[in-house]
Copies of this chain bind each other. A is one copy, B any other.
Amino acid sequence: MLKSIAVLTSGGDSPGMNAAARAVVRTALYEGVKVWGIRGGYHGLLEEDMFEMKSRDVSDIIQRGGTFLGTARCKRWKTPEGRMMGYKHLTDRGIEGLCVIGGDGSLRGASLLSKETGIPIVGLPGTIDNDVWGSDYTIGCDTAANTIIDAINKLRDTASAHRRVIVLEVMGRNCGWLALVSGISGGAEYILVPEEEYNLDEICDNMTEAYKKGKRYILVVVAEGAGSGQEIGQYIAEKTQLDTRVSVLGHIQRGGSPSVIDRVRASQLGEQAALALISGLSDIVFGYSKGRVVSIDLHDAVNNKKILDPDYLHLAKVLF
């Protein structure tokens, strides 16, 4: 059983990272294990920006967006020398295992550290994109989807007043989950995701038809990986001559106080990550699948591509 572990957050921040880090810390302390917080991700590890944590250090943070530990880009971490130095900074303090909360790239970096140094590593999927293989869920995706539907509610007001086409670009470079789920929830007429072909000309024809029949407004949700909202909006405007507006939500999707789901699941994942790490397990990522916490091989998680739930794709078609 390990005596001392550390936790860091890395990559783009997501709502619920604080809840996850808090659960790691409190679980470790509950088990009588020392726990260190590393500030600013791998960069902070290289800069030795770290401190031993007490229970109160994670008070009053479960409701906060962002990550109180901070995160940063780190080029040096991409080199074996960098990672070796990180390893040294951990062992210098008697730290025997590391919990990494972050997205794809961050987990990949963690897997290299484990391979090269043998130090136990457990990962948690912290990203709003919900694109980690083996898990139905990533920390922050529920809050981000709710942020998007709040925006859709506001856009609908103005779209309906003007009989407009609204194109809303949301995050998701490789994965259309956010677009699909928020599009279904927001009652979008069209949802464009990177996983599916679409024919913009056909869509334009349908729009024209719908307006003739008295439709008051049309909402198109586009995952950034499926095309630029700006370009798609311009194409629609030219082709249909309908009054079209584009909104690009951007980094607002990353912020905000986490939802209940993101707080509870992040807490559960954080607890399991700490327990696993303390017991000496390594090279696993904790995710959520079939309604419960599951452990996924770290190598599999970073090397496989998640597929969009076909039930959702079908649902989107039936409902509109």
Contacts and interface: CB of A to CB of B under 8 A. Distances in A.
A27 interface: yes
Contact of A264 (B71, B136, B181, B248): B181
Contacts of A59: 187
Interface residues of A, number: 77
Chain A binding surface SS class: helix
Interface in A266-320: 267-268, 271, 289-292, 311-312, 315, 318-320
B63 A186 contact: yes
Contacts of A154: 65, 147, 251-252, 254-256
Contacts of A159: 251
Contacts of A268: 311, 315
A257 interface: yes
Interface stretch (A76-84, A160-168, A194-202): A160-168
Contact of A248 (B66, B243, B248, B267): B248
Nearest to A137: B291
B247 A27 contact: no
Nearest to A214: B56
Interface in A53-70: 59-60, 62-67, 70
Interface string A19-33: 000110011001000
Interface string A228-262: 00000000000000010111101110111101110
Contact of A255 (B30, B153, B311, B320): B153
A314 to B, nearest CB: 9
A166 B254 CA distance: 13
A263 B184 contact: yes
A319 B26 contact: yes
Contacts of A15: 157
A140 to B, nearest CB: 11
B158 A13 contact: yes
Copies of this chain in its oligomeric complex:
4
A13 B187 contact: no
Contact of A252 (B12, B155, B161, B292): B155
Contacts of A251: 154-155, 158-159, 166, 245, 247
Contact of A145 (B30, B260, B290): B260
Contacts of A245: 250-251
B248 A153 contact: no
26 contacts: A13-B158, A26-B318, A26-B319, A27-B318, A60-B187, A62-B185, A65-B154, A66-B160, A70-B163, A71-B161, A136-B291, A149-B260, A149-B263, A153-B257, A154-B251, A155-B255, A157-B255, A158-B254, A158-B255, A184-B267, A185-B263, A245-B250, A247-B250, A247-B251, A261-B261, A290-B292
